[in-house]
Structure 1
């Protein structure tokens, strides 16, 4: 099976079309579900089960959270393949990671607007749900900041051979939550939390200089 680095131009174009169509479909499905939810709560549930009206906000959050993740993933893949058609995998992967970080920030802003209250209040309302969302948000945002640091300063890039937190491998991807290494024999993938990478000593293999490089 071909990897991202050795696909033909036609295969890349096919993936561009596929990721774009998925993004559009997810957006349409999200809009349709939100519209259906709104109509359902304002008509049927509001008329026959008024006590359940307060749950509309949670239904909307679930819809936005679930479809939002799919939209972010497909849109970032569209950006990756569009750039990959012209540039190398490392550069395209950098823009994909940035797109995912921006997407997550946008998704959190949308969720906050659904709550229609101060973000701090929405996430610390004292309920179990609030505590879970608060913890998850802090974790994701913390990892996103670290990932942004890694992709912008680029202490290493996809294709480099590095040793970090006792693991050695070829960098496959710098994601939001993990930096992915492939073992040198290609038998396994190693997922290292991004916040562990940024605080660790990184040993990067250097290609030996040839006579042409010296000259």
Structure 2
């Protein structure tokens, strides 16, 4: 009986501590999940406010990502403190472990540093069509570790920021105008002057082609089976692909109508019969 009473006494002493621990754990979990929800909402709200203030979408996305990461870290520390974990010692432990983690995550840290450089140097903006990191697409947003590109066929490509900054970046949208570089071939028996005149008429009739700089039309090469022309008009960057397709189609139709031949690869085979 004395032993049972002792156990009851110990249990009654532990109950307040256990109840406090459970309550603190529940409060800590509530702080964590509510804080995480609030951090997400605040970061999205800040991003929307920056976009309304005409801040570039890539910069707004990057800033909101950093804000969310900082708020999430604060919420996690608050939750741990509520549970009873000594946050000061915990921070010290994190600092000591940070070096080891940093060495293990060199790639991620490199992506973060590259993301900061992208925001500072601004080699491209949201909406620019670029070729970077071996991928081509329209810049959608820049986050802590990755840049999001959207291709013309509506695929999303996620490129590590370090891959973007460690290679060449071709920005097709930075300048307001672009030059079309077309090579048009005609057959050797076609009239060169007529072919050049036809191309000049087509270029002059298209209002999307700029008058300054002047379009270059000149013979570039006497190739194996064709006489090749350079056709280099200047257009607005947004009209590049439509003008290119329209020019090629119009040149083909007009050449056919006016008897200018367009060659295709061919081979002449001569058979010699030997008399026995």
Q: 175, 198, 212: which is aligned to 2:165?
A: 198
- SS of the equivalent of 1:117 reads helix
Contact 1:123 1:134 in 2 (8 A): no
Distance verdict in 2 for CA 1:77–1:110, change over 3 Å? closer
Q: 1: distance between equivalents of 2:74 and 2:96? A: 16
Cα drift, residue 49 of structure 1 = 3.1
- Structure with max Cα Rg: 2
Q: 135, 146, 157: which is aligned to 2:125?
A: 157
Q: What per-residue deviation string (whole Å, max 9, x for no partner) do you get for residues 105-127 of structure 1?
A: 343355456422262413657xx
Q: 1: distance between equivalents of 2:157 and 2:17? A: 53
Identify the residue that residue 181 of structure 2 maps to in structure 1: none
1:99 counterpart = 2:58: no
1:49 counterpart = 2:24: no
Identify the residue that residue 117 of structure 1 maps to in structure 2: 89
Contact 2:57 2:126 in 1 (8 A): no
Contact 1:79 1:96 in 2 (8 A): no
Q: What per-residue deviation string (whole Å, max 9, x for no partner) do you get for residues 49-69 of structure 1?
A: 38x949x67983x65554444
Higher share in helix: 1
Identify the residue that residue 72 of structure 1 maps to in structure 2: 39
Contact 2:44 2:64 in 1 (8 A): no
Q: 2: distance between equivalents of 1:136 and 1:70? A: 29
- SS of the equivalent of 1:49 reads helix
Q: 1: distance between equivalents of 2:73 and 2:90? A: 12
Contact 1:180 1:190 in 2 (8 A): yes
Contact 2:114 2:165 in 1 (8 A): yes
Q: How does 1:1-215 map to 2 (within 5 A)?
A: 47=16, 49=18, 53=21, 60=28, 66-87=33-54, 91-109=56-74, 111-112=76-77, 114=81, 115-117=87-89, 119-122=91-94, 143-186=111-154, 188-206=155-173, 207=175, 208-209=177-178, 211=210
Structure 1's unaligned 5+ residue stretches are: 1-44
**TM-score (structure 1 length as normaliser):** 0.54
* 153-162 vs 112-121, greater mean Cα deviation: 112-121
Distance verdict in 2 for CA 1:86–1:53, change over 3 Å? closer
Identify the residue that residue 26 of structure 1 maps to in structure 2: none
* 203-212 vs 148-157, greater mean Cα deviation: 203-212
Contact 2:126 2:138 in 1 (8 A): yes
Structure 2's unaligned 5+ residue stretches are: 1-13, 82-86, 179-208, 214-276
Alignment length (residue pairs): 161
